Structure 1
C-alpha cells in the first residue's frame, strides 16, 4: 500500500471531509454527513483505493 495522495490533495480531502461531517451537527442534520469520514480517512493514511484502477498518483514520490 504505497502512498498515492499528495499534500494538496490531502488538505482538500480534510476540508471536504470536515464540511460533510458538519452536516451531522448543523444544517440539515442528516446522517449522510458521515460520508465525510471517507475523505478524512484517506487523507490520514495517504492512500486512496479509488485511485488504483485509474493509475492516479498525486503524491510527489516517484514510482519504481
Structure 2
C-alpha cells in the first residue's frame, strides 16, 4: 500500500540521486550511499517509517 504522495516521492528521488551522485563524484564520503534509501522509497511509493508511525502523505481517497 502506498503511503508516500507525489511531491514527497519527487523530493525523495531528487535527494537520493543527488546524494548518490555526490558520493560517486567524491564530494562527500561513503555516508552518501544512504541516498539509496530515499531513492528506493520514492520509486516504490512506500516508506516503512511512515507505516510504523501510521503516517501517509498520499491524498485521502473519498
TM-score, normalisation: structure 1: 0.81
Shift >6 Å, 4+ stretches: none
Instruction: Tell me by how many angstroms 1:45 deviates.
Output: 0.8
**Unaligned residue ranges in structure 2 (runs of 5+):** none
Match of 1:17 in 2: 16
Kindly tell me the number of residue pairs found equivalent between the two proteins.
61
Instruction: Tell me by how many angstroms 1:49 deviates.
Output: 0.4
Instruction: Tell me by how many angstroms 1:61 deviates.
Output: 4.3
Match of 2:55 in 1: 56
Match of 1:38 in 2: 37
> Alpha carbon RMSD of aligned pairs, Å?
1.6
Q: Deviations over 1:1-58 (max 9, x none)?
A: x100000000000111011112222213x22111001001001110000002321111
Match of 1:7 in 2: 6
TM-score, normalisation: structure 2: 0.83
**Unaligned residue ranges in structure 1 (runs of 5+):** none
